[in-house]
Amino acid sequence: MNLQVLSSQFWSLCLQGVALGFIYVLISLGYTMVYGVLRLINFANSEVFMVGTFATVVAQVGILQNQTNSQPLHGFRLLYTLAFSLGFSMLICGVLGVLVELVAYRRLRALGTNRLASLISAIAVSIVLLETTRIVTFSRPQTSPRLLDKWSFGEIAGANFRIDTVAVIVSGIVIFFALDRFVTKSRLGKAIRAVSMSEENSKLMGVNLNRVVSLTFFIGGLTTGAAAFFYTTVYETTQFNVGFNLGLAAFTAAVLGGIGNLRGAFYGGLFLGVLEQFASAILGSQWKSVTVFLVLVLVLLLKPNGIFGEAVQQTRT
Amino acid sequence: MNKKIQRSLAVVSAAALVLGVSAVSSAMAAPKTVYLAFQAPLTGPNALTGQDELTGAKFALSEYNATNPSIKVELVLADDQGLAEVAAVVAPGIASNKKIIGLIGPAFSGATQASLPAYKAGGLALISMSATRVSLTDRKAAVNGFPIFKRVVANDQYQGPALARYATKGVTAPSVYLVDDKTAYGKGLADYTSPSLKGKIAGTDSVPENTSDYTSVVAKVKASGANVVIYCGYAPDAAKFVKALRDGGYKGIFASGDGTLKATFPNNAGNTAAEGARLTAADVPFEDVATAAQMVAYTKLTGIKIPGTYVTSTYNATNIFLTCIKQGKTSRAGIQNCITSGSFKGVAGDTIKFDRYGDIVGGAAVGAFTIKDGKITYVAVA
B267-299 pLDDT, tens digit per residue, is 888 768 999 999 998 888 898 889 999 999 999
Among B204, B248, B268, the residue with its CB nearest the CB of A143 is B268
Distance in angstroms between the alpha carbons of the first and the last residue of chain A: 41
Q: Where does residue B362 fall: left (phi above 0), alpha (psi -120 to 50 degrees), or beta otherwise?
A: left
| Residue B210 contacts A, CB cutoff 8 Å | yes
Query: Which residues lie closer than 8 Å to A111 by C-beta, 6 or more apart?
Result: none
User: Is B278 touching A (CB cutoff 8 A)?
Assistant: no
Q: Is the per-residue pLDDT at A193 higher than 50?
A: yes
Residue B361: inside a domain: no
Q: What is the pLDDT of residue A198?
A: 86
Contact A20 B249 (CB under 8 A): no
- pLDDT over 70 percentage in chain A: 97
- B137/B150 Cα distance (integer angstroms): 8
Nearest Cα to Cα of residue A299 among A259, A250, A256: A256
Residue range B166-199, pLDDT digits in tens = 999 999 999 999 999 988 788 889 999 999 999 9
Chain B interface, mutation test: which of A8, A9, A73, most B Cβ atoms within 10 Å?
A9
Neighbours of B333 (CB within 10 A): 11
Query: What pLDDT score was predicted for residue B5?
Result: 52
Could you tell me the CA-to-CA distances from A64 to A56, A225, B153, B238 in Å, in that order?
11, 18, 46, 28
**Record: contact A9-B211, CB cut-off 8 A:** no
Distance from CA of B75 to the nearest CA of A (A): 32
d(CA B220, CA B214): 10
Q: How many CB pairs under 8 A join A and B?
A: 98
Specify the pLDDT at position A58.
94
Cis before B147 (ω within 30): yes
Mark whether B127 and B206 lie in a shared domain. no
Asked if the Cβ–Cβ distance from B210 to A246 is below 8 Å, we say: no
Q: Which residues contact A231 (CB under 8 A, 6 or more apart)?
A: A23, A49, A53, A238, A242, A246, B212
Query: Are B178 and B274 part of one and the same domain?
Result: yes
Taking only the tens place, the pLDDT of each residue in B69-118 is 999 999 999 999 888 999 999 999 999 999 999 999 999 988 999 999 99
- The reply to whether B276 and B301 lie within a common domain is no
B360 belongs to a structural domain: no
pLDDT digit string, tens, across residues A29-46: 999 999 988 888 899 999
Strand partners, A156: A159
Q: Which residues of B touch A154 (CB under 8 A)?
A: none
Are the C-beta atoms of residues A48 and A218 closer than 8 Å to each other?
no
Mean pLDDT on A262-284 = 93
Q: Is the pLDDT of residue B40 over 90?
A: yes
Please, which residues 300-339 of chain B have a Cβ atom closer than 8 Å to chain A?
A: none
Q: Does B213 contact A at CB distance below 8 Å? A: yes
Tell me the chain B residues in contact with residue A233 when contact means C-beta distances shorter than 8 Å: none
**Spatial separation of the C-alpha atoms in residues A252 and B15, rounded to whole Å:** 53
Looking at chain A, which runs of residues are DSSP E strands? 142-143, 152-156, 159-162, 237-238
Asked if B213 lies within 8 A of A20 by C-beta distance, the reply is: yes
Phi, psi torsion values for B175, nearest 5 degrees? -130, 115
Distance CA B297, CA A151 (A): 52
Asked if B239 and B142 sit in the same domain, the reply is no
Contact check, Cβ <8 Å, A280/B182: no
Q: Which residues pair with B35 in a beta bridge?
A: B74, B100
Residues 67 through 106 of chain A touching chain B, CB cutoff 8 Å: 68-69, 71
pLDDT tens profile B116-166: 999 999 999 999 999 988 889 998 888 889 999 999 998 888 889 999 999
Within a domain: B368: no
How many CB atoms are located within 10 Å of the residue A262 CB? Answer: 26
User: Any bridge partners for residue B177, and if so which?
Assistant: B203, B229
Residue B347 and residue B56 in contact, taking contact as beta carbons nearer than 8 Å: no
Instruction: Read off the pLDDT of residues B200-243 as tens digits, 9 standing for 90 and up.
Output: 999 999 999 888 899 999 999 999 999 999 999 888 899 999 99
> Which of the residues A61, A239, A285 would you substitute to probe the B interface, choosing the one with the greatest number of B C-beta atoms within 10 Å?
A285
d(CA A52, CA A34): 18
Contact between A49 and A243 under an 8 Å Cβ cutoff? The reply is yes
- Do B99 and B174 share a domain, yes or no? no
My answer on whether B297 and B239 are in the same domain is no
Give per-residue pLDDT as tens, B343-377.
999 998 889 999 999 999 887 788 899 999 988 88
pLDDT digits (tens, 9 = 90+) for A117-164: 888 999 999 999 999 998 888 777 888 888 888 888 888 888 889 999
Q: Are residues B207 and B303 in the same domain?
A: no
Q: Give the residue from B222, B270, B269 showing the smallest Cα distance to B248.
A: B222
Residues A143, B208: C-beta atoms closer than 8 Å: no
Crossing angle for the helix pair B215-224 and B235-247, to the nearest 10 degrees = 60
From B281, B313, B341, the end of a domain falls on: B281
In a domain, B93, yes or no: yes
| Cβ within 8 Å, pair A8-B207 | no
Q: Which position has the higher pLDDT, B204 or B9?
A: B204
Q: Are the C-beta atoms of B298 and B286 separated by less than 8 Å?
A: yes
Chain A residues within an 8 Å CB radius of B243: 236
Chain B residue with minimum CA distance to A232: B212
**Does B166 share its domain with B266?**
yes
Q: Which residues pair with B40 in a beta bridge?
A: B79
Residue B304 burial (C-beta neighbours within 10 Å; 0-12, 13-18, 19+): middle
Work out the pLDDT band at B22, boundaries 50, 70, 90.
Answer: very low
**Average of per-residue pLDDT values in chain B:** 88
Number of domains in chain B: 2
Of A13, A239, A286, the CB nearest to B206: A286
Predicted model pTM: 0.79
On whether both B161 and B258 belong to a single domain, the answer is yes
Domain containing residue B297: CATH number = 3.40.50.2300
Which residue of chain B comes nearest to A244, CA vs CA?
B210
**Based on the domain organization, do B314 and B175 belong to the same domain?**
no
Which domains, ranges and CATH numbers included, belong to chain A?
Answer: 4-150+158-315 (1.10.3470)
Mean pLDDT on B52-56 = 94
Cα–Cα distance measured from residue A29 to residue A299, given in angstroms and rounded to the nearest whole number? 20
CA distance linking residue B71 with residue B34, whole number of Å: 7
Picking from B210, B247, B249, the nearest residue to A245 by CB comes out as B210
ipTM of the complex: 0.87
Q: Is residue B367 part of a domain?
A: no
**Does residue A231 belong to the interface with chain B, where contact is any CB pair within 8 Å?**
yes
Contact A160 B248 (CB under 8 A): yes
Chain A neighbors of B216, CB-CB under 8 A: 13, 16, 276-278, 280-281, 285
Residue B308 placed within a domain: yes
In a domain, B366, yes or no: no
Instruction: Write down the pLDDT at residue A44.
Output: 94
Nearest to B247 among A141, A150, A276 (CB): A150
**Over the stretch B245-256, which tens digit does the pLDDT of each residue have?**
999 889 999 999
Inter-chain CB proximity B211 and A141 less than 8 Å: no
Interchain contact B203–A (C-beta under 8 A) = yes
- Say whether A9 and B222 touch across the interface (CB within 8 A): yes
Q: Are residues B275 and B344 in the same domain?
A: no
The verdict on B243 touching A (C-beta cutoff 8 Å) is yes
Instruction: Using the 3D structure, point to which of B247, B281, B315 is the last residue of a domain.
Output: B281
**Whether residue B277 sits in one domain with residue B171:** yes
Determine the pLDDT at residue B88. Answer: 95
Q: Distance (Å, rounded) from C-alpha A112 to C-alpha A31?
A: 22
CA gap B307, B330 in Å, rounded: 30
* Residue A71 CB partners (closer than 8 Å, separation 6+): B271
Q: B6 pLDDT band (50/70/90 cuts)?
A: low
Closest-approach residue (CA) in chain B for A143: B268
Any CB–CB contact under 8 A between A239 and chain B?
A: yes
| Residue type present at position A203 | K
For A228-238, the pLDDT digits (tens) are 999 999 999 99
CB-nearest to B268 from A141, A162, A284 is A141
- Of A248, A261, A273, nearest in space to A306 by CA: A261
Question: Mean pLDDT throughout A258-263?
Answer: 87
Do A20 and B222 lie within an 8 Å CB cutoff?
A: no
Q: How far is CA B297 from CA A1, B304, B342, in A?
A: 58, 10, 28
Q: A8 CA to chain B: closest CA distance, Å?
A: 6
Does B26 contact A at CB distance below 8 Å? no
What is the three-class DSSP state of B128?
Answer: strand
Among the candidates B281, B302, B322, a domain finishes at B281
Range(s) of the domain holding residue B162: 157-281
* Interface contact A7-B220, CB threshold 8 A: no
**Residue B104 falls within a domain, yes or no?**
yes
CA distance B99 to chain A (A): 40
Q: Does residue A285 belong to the interface with chain B, where contact is any CB pair within 8 Å?
A: yes
